[in-house]
Amino acid sequence: MDKKATSFLLLGLVIGIVLTAGVFSLIIGGNGQAGGQKTVLKLAHVLPATAPVHLAMEYMAELAAEKSGGLVEIQVFPNGQLGSETETIEQMQRGALAMVKASTAPMEGFIPEMAVFSVPYLFRDEDHYWKVLDGEIGKGILVKGAEVGIRGLCYYDSGARSFYTVDKPILSPDDLQGMKIRVMRSKTAMDMIDALGGSPTPIPFGELYTALQQGMVDGAENNPPSMYDTRHWEVAKHYSMDEHARIPDIVLFSQKIWESLSPQVRLWVQEAADESVIFQKQIWKEYVQECLANLEKEGVSIYKPSKEPFQQMAKKMYSNFDGTPVEDLIKQIQELK
């Protein structure tokens, strides 16, 4: 084999290795000017391409490319193309994938402090919620996962979660007695359903439609866009807006890959992420209202039960966090004005 062929073979092997790592760099240039190093980052999530968070991440990619003059490219893969939420998080920890959009609920298995977001009725209202996320508490939680290979970039609005059910509405905690309610694989989410009198049933989100259809579960809990986008309204005709939790989405970055980036690339990526949050919050509010209207058009009955009975029932699970880092976070959030 001549030297030229050997060089091409080695180049191919190197490109294959770095592509597998979820991030690669190329020396690019044009018009005879000195080249710059291009960084390509893969971002995976399980939601459809119509979801506001996907549009926000596409906007983040546009901003990163614009800020860097084309030197940073973020490629967004929706619909679970690169694996389930848990699978992609594990890939990211290994450095095989650069970025993942996840819910903070299943993240408590990796970062215990994330459980605070699943504590029911902890946030007084939307303003209180964003004061926490945008302030020292939220920013502190973003960097708690460094030791397990995960860095948080930003939070996206995922609204308030409420119950949707097949046969009857949930108008009080009594209605949950004996009902199987799908939850995420989050201990806190399961404890909440248990505290309210239901039977928590963790099922992957992609399998929920069939589970509702076949009676494996009696209902689920999520925000209006999640119910509408997945067509769960075809089998679940009752949506009870008890708004028991505000669990944000989060954009995560591989700590291993983050540390390999130059300070300038990190700055471009973080700035793009922060600016995409403002965009996402705007389109999220509009989309929630649109989805609620569409759900009613599709024959879903929407209820607004009194929250007080649910709040009283949920309080008993707060003691589950005594002696943990979450106990202190709960106090800080409750005291934040």
**Could you read off the pLDDT of 274-326 as tens digits, one per residue?**
999 999 999 999 999 999 999 999 999 999 999 999 999 998 899 999 999 99
Cα–chain-centroid distance for residue 232?
19
Q: Are 101 and 44 in contact (CB under 8 A)?
A: yes
Whole-prediction pTM value?
Answer: 0.83
For residue 25, being part of any structural domain is answered with no
Q: Is 186 exposed, middle or buried (0-12, 13-18, 19+ CB in 10 A)?
A: buried
For residue 18, being part of any structural domain is answered with no
Q: Are 181 and 200 in contact (CB under 8 A)?
A: yes
- Which domain, by its residues, includes 194? 161-247+300-335
For residue 198, being part of any structural domain is answered with yes
What sign does the dihedral 64-65-69-73 (CA atoms) show? positive
Which residue from 178, 100, 184, 186 is spatially nearest to 145, judged by alpha carbons? Answer: 100
What's the pLDDT score for residue 1? Answer: 52
For residue 5, being part of any structural domain is answered with no
Which residue from 291, 180, 316 is spatially nearest to 241, judged by alpha carbons? Answer: 291
Mark the ranges of the chain whose per-residue pLDDT is less than 50: 3-21, 24-35
Helix (H), strand (E) at residue 239: strand 238-245
What's the pLDDT score for residue 2? Answer: 52
**Cα 124–Cα 129–Cα 135 angle in degrees, nearest 5:** 130
Residue with structure tokens 């298995």? 109
CA dist list (Å): 293 to 86, 225, 274, 288, 321: 32, 11, 30, 9, 38
261 and 203 share one domain: no
217 and 322 share one domain: yes
182-216 pLDDT, tens digit each: 998 888 999 999 999 999 999 988 899 999 999 99
Amino acid at 26: L
**Which residues of 69-144 form beta strands (DSSP E)?**
72-77, 99-103
Q: State how far the Cα of 15 lies from the Cα of 13, in Å rounded to an integer.
A: 6
What's the pLDDT score for residue 25? Answer: 45
What's the pLDDT score for residue 9? Answer: 44
187 and 256 share one domain: no
Give the list of residues 6+ apart from residue 182 with CB closer than 8 angstroms, or none: 201, 202, 203, 208, 211, 212, 217, 219, 220, 221
- Give the total number of structural domains in the chain: 2
For residue 8, being part of any structural domain is answered with no
Q: Do strands 301-303 and 238-245 pair parallel, antiparallel, or not at all (unpaired)? A: parallel
What's the pLDDT score for residue 23? Answer: 52
